[in-house]
């Protein structure tokens, strides 16, 4: 399995897209830290990169990669290797390459300019989001044979998690604003890995605002050790569940 | 010869005029009570180091009470230690501890009633219900004392320095922890509070009620339950203070309620949930302040009128200004906002486009606090951008027409 992952990794690195991605992240992070005299503000912009760009690239890149290596997968299937192993090694190869380019592109500047708990949680969240969205991408691309459809589904999912979901949350919170919604918001934030990651970082960044009103409750929950464990646990669930579903349908699929 | 005789007489009489009565083990007096009873006006009572259990000594003579190496005056958890009522009394260098608690009376370590020209200096007051309770007095000084309260609930803890119906007070260089309100003013006029440090009090670091014409200067209020409250007062001057880390659901760096004609100048608001909260306040000038890393730099409710924000620095606050209505009768001018995204074509140092400090999202949060969950999300920044282009929900008149392009060089106290 590791051997297979290694080949996938080589393949990805050779395609140069991943190198471009690394360089892009690095250029953006370095220039943000250089431009802003207040590194807190730079981290704020980086937060947007982590929450928007990382999921998008992870999704699109993984989908395209999956369809492009379809022939390789078919070739591997003719060998005595189990389907689960093949898909998992494909996943591992893709996710590892994406996350390592994130670690290089964002991790290094953060360590250089903003090495504290906020910075660390930013990098951690970025890595987790890479893994999660790669796994989601695998889930969608396994479902259909058609490349255009797969990419379309991936984009739709990204759009949903990055934007639509928050809109829906806003709508729900406004509609039911007469009711006590504290518990519900906790639940709602767990249903979207992007939101969960954002709150995780935000608690380190905007503590003064969060301490007011509902914020105190967030702080109590997410800010505690169990809260951090909960966040990471839920994010791992978000990573594992789509992957398992992908493996299941890949195993059952008539290729 | 006659003159010489007179001088000799005076010299002989002087020791009689102001004697020094020493209290302590093996001294003339073994208890402070005896010494106070024996003392006459202008005498000095010197108390040696030791522990003295005291059940309320009433001091009405003009005497100097001086402690040597902080003698411990213990109230046995039942009594007030000193009650001071008179004029020209100095109390210096004592350690008051464990005065009583009562739900009926405001028991204090030292109670000063109907007094004037009192100096209370260099004392330590620990485990007290009220630290110093001053009523109906004038011209007194509370200087360089250290207070550490009981830190229980709001009901069972009293105020550190409590002033009621006083004038011409000077409260200086005190350090207050763990009381209900660090410093409490009610019906106090013409007083100066300066260079005090009030930290970790259960309710307010400083609490003003119905107190006009006061100054508070260079104080630090840190990590108090609800910050600093100034209510129902006029002509209060708040200068060079530092409001730090007042966090919580109802915590404010500075809470202003029904304040008129006052001045807030050169203060630093750092990491508070709300920097300044204004309700029903009129004609206040907020100038040269630094608002940094607060949740809301200022919340100006629609009940406020004719307040001016001029030449302030707003730096890395989550929200710059919040309000609860669309009616705006206050002016914001020539401030520096680090969120400003406009340009300055004629290079005069002022931005050419007005800045709207109330963001759409802060209005949303004001209406439905649960939406704080969406802070910093892409959705919210989209909404803010859209609202900035075409204001519809946020008050259109709340704007800085000439925002500064560069931050003012204001001193930030750390």
3-state secondary structure of A110: helix
Contact A209 B375 (CB under 8 A): yes
A5-54 residue pLDDT tens: 888 888 888 888 999 999 999 999 999 999 877 777 788 888 888 899 99
Contact A208 B367 (CB under 8 A): no
3-state secondary structure of B316: coil
Which runs of consecutive H residues, i.e. helices, occur in chain A?
Answer: 2-14, 17-35, 39-48, 54-68, 70-77, 83-102, 108-113, 117-143, 147-159, 165-175, 182-190, 193-205, 207-210, 213-222, 225-252
Contact A195 B247 (CB under 8 A): no
B375-391 residue pLDDT tens: 888 888 888 888 888 88
Q: How far apart are CA A124 and CA B289, in angstroms?
A: 37
Which chain A residues contact residue B224 at CB under 8 A?
none
Identify which of B363, B284, B296 has the alpha carbon closest to the alpha carbon of residue B329. Answer: B284
3-state secondary structure of B130: strand
Residues A166-195, mean pLDDT to the nearest whole number: 88
Other Cβ atoms closer than 10 A to A132 = 29
A41 contact B CB<8A:
yes
Q: What confidence score (pLDDT) does residue B5 get?
A: 64
Whether this model's ipTM surpasses 0.90 comes out as no
Which chain B residues contact residue A162 at CB under 8 A?
378
Which chain A residues contact residue B377 at CB under 8 A?
51, 166, 194-195, 198
Whether the predicted pLDDT of B249 surpasses 80: no
Give the nearest partner residue to A206 out of B249, B367, B375, using CB atoms. Answer: B375
Whether the predicted pLDDT of B1 surpasses 70: no
A166 contact B CB<8A:
yes
B101 versus B18: the higher-pLDDT residue is B101
Whether the predicted pLDDT of B259 surpasses 80: yes
Within 9-68 of B, beta carbons closer than 8 Å to A belong to none
Which strand (E) or helix (H) includes residue B220?
A: strand B220-222
DSSP A28-57: HHHHHHHH-SSHHHHHHHHHHIIIIIHHHH
Q: What confidence score (pLDDT) does residue B400 get?
A: 92
Q: Which of A182-186, B26-30, B209-213 has the lowest mean pLDDT?
A: A182-186
Residue written as tokens 């200096």? B121
Percent of chain B with pLDDT over 90: 64
Q: In DSSP terms, which residues pair with B133 in a beta bridge?
A: B111, B162
pLDDT band at B16 (very low <50, low <70, confident <90, very high): low
Q: What confidence score (pLDDT) does residue B371 get?
A: 85
Q: Are B14 and B33 in contact (CB under 8 A)?
A: no
Say which residues have a Cβ less than 8 Å from residue A140's Cβ, sequence separation at least 6: A63, A150, A153, A154, A157
Q: What confidence score (pLDDT) does residue A97 get?
A: 94
A112-161 residue pLDDT tens: 988 888 899 999 999 999 999 999 999 999 998 899 999 999 999 999 99
Which chain B residues contact residue A217 at CB under 8 A?
none
Q: Length of chain B, please?
A: 414
Whether the predicted pLDDT of A254 surpasses 90: no
Q: In DSSP terms, which residues pair with B188 in a beta bridge?
A: B166
User: With 0-12 CB in 10 A as exposed, 13-18 as middle and 19+ as buried, what is B290?
Assistant: buried
Output Rg (C-alpha) for chain A, integer angstroms.
19
Q: What confidence score (pLDDT) does residue A213 get?
A: 58
Query: What is the chain B residue with the closest CA to A163?
Result: B379
Mean pLDDT across chain A, nearest whole number? 89
Whether the predicted pLDDT of B4 surpasses 90: no
Question: Taking CB atoms and an 8 Å cut-off, how many pairs form between chains A and B?
Answer: 111
Residues B259-283, mean pLDDT to the nearest whole number: 93
Contact A166 B381 (CB under 8 A): no
Residues B286-314, mean pLDDT to the nearest whole number: 93
Catalogue the E-assigned strands of B26-63.
Answer: 44-47, 51-53, 57-59
Question: Chain-centre distance of CA B286, in angstroms?
Answer: 18
Identify which of B158, B165, B122 has the alpha carbon closest to the alpha carbon of residue B141. Answer: B122
Domain count along chain A: 1
pLDDT band at B10 (very low <50, low <70, confident <90, very high): low
Give residue A32's domain range: 2-252
Which chain B residues contact residue A213 at CB under 8 A?
249, 369, 372
pLDDT band at B164 (very low <50, low <70, confident <90, very high): very high
Output the CA–CA distances (angstroms, integers) from residue A50 to A55, A92, B278, in the order listed.
8, 20, 37
Residues A192-200, mean pLDDT to the nearest whole number: 91
Burial string for B6-23 (b: 16+ CB within 10 Å, else e) reads: eeeeeeeeeeeeeeebbb
User: With 0-12 CB in 10 A as exposed, 13-18 as middle and 19+ as buried, what is A125?
Assistant: buried
Query: What is the chain B residue with the closest CA to A52?
Result: B378
Q: How many DSSP H helices and E strands does chain B contain? A: 4, 37
Give the nearest partner residue to B316 out of A41, A174, A214, using CB atoms. Answer: A41
Whether the predicted pLDDT of B14 surpasses 70: no
Percent of chain B with pLDDT over 70: 95
Give me B23's structure tokens. 């209290």
- Measure in Å the smallest separation between the Cα of B250 and chain A Cα atoms: 7
- Measure in Å the smallest separation between the Cα of B154 and chain A Cα atoms: 20
Q: What confidence score (pLDDT) does residue B2 get?
A: 62
Q: Are B182 and B133 in contact (CB under 8 A)?
A: no
A211 contact B CB<8A:
yes
Whether the predicted pLDDT of B168 surpasses 90: yes
Give me B322's structure tokens. 């919040």
Residues A66-87, mean pLDDT to the nearest whole number: 91
Mean pLDDT across chain B, nearest whole number? 89
Q: How far apart are CA B411 and CA B414, in angstroms?
A: 9
Whether the predicted pLDDT of B15 surpasses 60: no
Residue written as tokens 């997968």? A73
pLDDT band at B150 (very low <50, low <70, confident <90, very high): confident
Q: What confidence score (pLDDT) does residue A178 get?
A: 85
A203 contact B CB<8A:
no
Q: How far apart are CA B357 and CA B330, in angstroms?
A: 13
pLDDT band at A200 (very low <50, low <70, confident <90, very high): confident
Which chain A residues contact residue B367 at CB under 8 A?
177
Q: How far apart are CA B66 and CA B86, in angstroms?
A: 17
Which chain A residues contact residue B379 at CB under 8 A?
163, 166-167, 170
Which chain B residues contact residue A182 at CB under 8 A?
370
Q: What confidence score (pLDDT) does residue A211 get?
A: 66
Q: What confidence score (pLDDT) does residue B308 get?
A: 95
Whether the predicted pLDDT of A61 surpasses 90: yes
A206 versus B201: the higher-pLDDT residue is B201
Query: What is the chain A residue with the closest CA to B296?
Result: A209
pLDDT band at B237 (very low <50, low <70, confident <90, very high): very high
Q: How far apart are CA A234 and CA B182, in angstroms?
A: 44
Q: What confidence score (pLDDT) does residue A125 get?
A: 94
pLDDT band at A212 (very low <50, low <70, confident <90, very high): low
pLDDT band at A219 (very low <50, low <70, confident <90, very high): confident
Which chain B residues contact residue A40 at CB under 8 A?
293, 316
A255 versus A151: the higher-pLDDT residue is A151
Q: How far apart are CA A152 and CA A159, in angstroms?
A: 10
B248 contact A CB<8A:
yes
Which chain A residues contact residue B368 at CB under 8 A?
173-174, 177
Within 326-385 of B, beta carbons closer than 8 Å to A belong to 338, 364, 367-382
CA angle A199, A42, B378 (to 5 degrees): 45
Interface with chain B: mutation pick from A168, A193, A212, A218, highest number of B CBs within 10 Å: A212
């Amino acid at each position: 399995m590791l051997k297979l992952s290694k080949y996938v990794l080589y393949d990805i690195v050779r395609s140069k897209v991943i190198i471009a991605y690394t360089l892009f992240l690095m250029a953006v992070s370095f220039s943000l830290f250089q431009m802003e005299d207040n590194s807190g503000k730079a981290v704020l912009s980086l937060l947007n990169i982590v929450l928007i760009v990382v999921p998008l690239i992870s999704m699109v890149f993984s989908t395209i990669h999956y369809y492009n290596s379809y022939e390789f997968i078919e070739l591997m299937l003719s060998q005595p290797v189990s389907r689960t192993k093949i898909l998992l090694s494909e996943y591992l190869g893709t996710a590892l390459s994406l996350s390592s380019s994130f670690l290089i592109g964002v991790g290094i500047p953060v360590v250089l300019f903003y090495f504290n708990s906020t910075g660390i949680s930013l990098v951690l969240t970025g890595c987790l989001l890479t893994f999660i969205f790669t796994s989601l991408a695998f889930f969608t691309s396994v479902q259909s044979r058609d490349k255009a459809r797969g990419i379309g589904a991936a984009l739709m999912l990204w759009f949903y998690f990055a934007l639509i979901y928050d809109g829906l949350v806003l709508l729900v919170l406004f509609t039911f604003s007469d009711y006590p919604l504290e518990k519900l918001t906790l639940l709602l934030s767990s249903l979207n890995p992007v939101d969960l990651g954002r709150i995780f970082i935000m608690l380190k960044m905007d503590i003064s605002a969060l301490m007011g009103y509902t914020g105190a409750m967030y702080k109590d929950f997410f800010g505690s050790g169990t809260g951090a464990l909960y966040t990471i646990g839920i994010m791992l669930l978000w990573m594992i569940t789509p992957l398992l579903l992908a493996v299941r349908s890949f195993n059952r699929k008539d290729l | 010869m006659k003159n010489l005789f007179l001088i000799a007489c005076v010299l002989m009489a002087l020791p009689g005029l102001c004697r020094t009565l020493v209290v302590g083990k093996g001294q003339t007096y073994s208890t402070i009570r005896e010494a106070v009873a024996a003392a006459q006006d202008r005498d000095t009572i010197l108390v040696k180091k030791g522990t003295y259990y005291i059940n309320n000594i009433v001091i009405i003579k003009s005497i100097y009470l001086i402690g040597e190496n902080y003698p411990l005056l213990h109230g046995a958890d039942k009594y007030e230690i000193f009650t001071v009522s008179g004029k020209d009394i100095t109390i210096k260098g004592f350690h008051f501890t464990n005065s009583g608690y009562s739900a009926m009376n405001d028991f204090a370590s030292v109670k000063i009633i109907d007094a004037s020209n009192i100096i209370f200096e260099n004392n330590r007051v620990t485990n007290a219900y009220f630290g110093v309770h001053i009523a109906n007095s004038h011209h007194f000084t509370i200087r360089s004392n250290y207070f550490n309260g009981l830190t229980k609930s709001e009901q069972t803890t009293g105020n550190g320095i409590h002033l009621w119906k006083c004038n011409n007070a000077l409260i200086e260089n005190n350090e207050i922890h763990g009381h209900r309100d660090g410093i409490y003013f009610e019906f106090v006029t013409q007083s100066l509070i300066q260079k005090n440090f009030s930290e970790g009090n259960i309710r307010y670091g400083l609490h003003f009620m119905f107190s006009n014409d006061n100054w508070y200067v260079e104080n630090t209020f840190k990590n108090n339950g609800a910050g600093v409250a100034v209510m129902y007062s006029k002509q209060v001057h708040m200068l060079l203070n530092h409001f730090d880390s007042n966090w919580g659901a109802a915590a404010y760096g500075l809470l202003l309620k029904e304040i008129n004609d006052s001045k807030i100048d050169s203060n630093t608001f750092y990491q508070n949930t709300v920097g300044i909260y204004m309700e029903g306040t009129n004609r206040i000038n907020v100038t040269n302040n630094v608002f940094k890393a607060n949740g809301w730099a200022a919340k100006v409710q629609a009940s406020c009128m004719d307040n001016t924000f001029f030449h302030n620095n707003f730096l890395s606050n989550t929200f710059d200004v919040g309000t609860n209505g669309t009616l705006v009768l206050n002016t914001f001018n020539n401030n520096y906002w680090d969120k400003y995204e406009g340009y300055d074509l004629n290079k005069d140092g002022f931005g050419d486009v007005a800045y709207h400090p109330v963001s759409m999202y802060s209005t949303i949060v004001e209406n439905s606090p649960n939406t704080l969950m969406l802070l910093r999300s892409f959705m919210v920044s989209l909404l803010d951008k859209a609202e900035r282009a075409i204001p519809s929900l946020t008050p259109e008149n709340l704007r800085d027409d000439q925002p500064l392009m560069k931050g003012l060089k204001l001193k930030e106290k750390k």
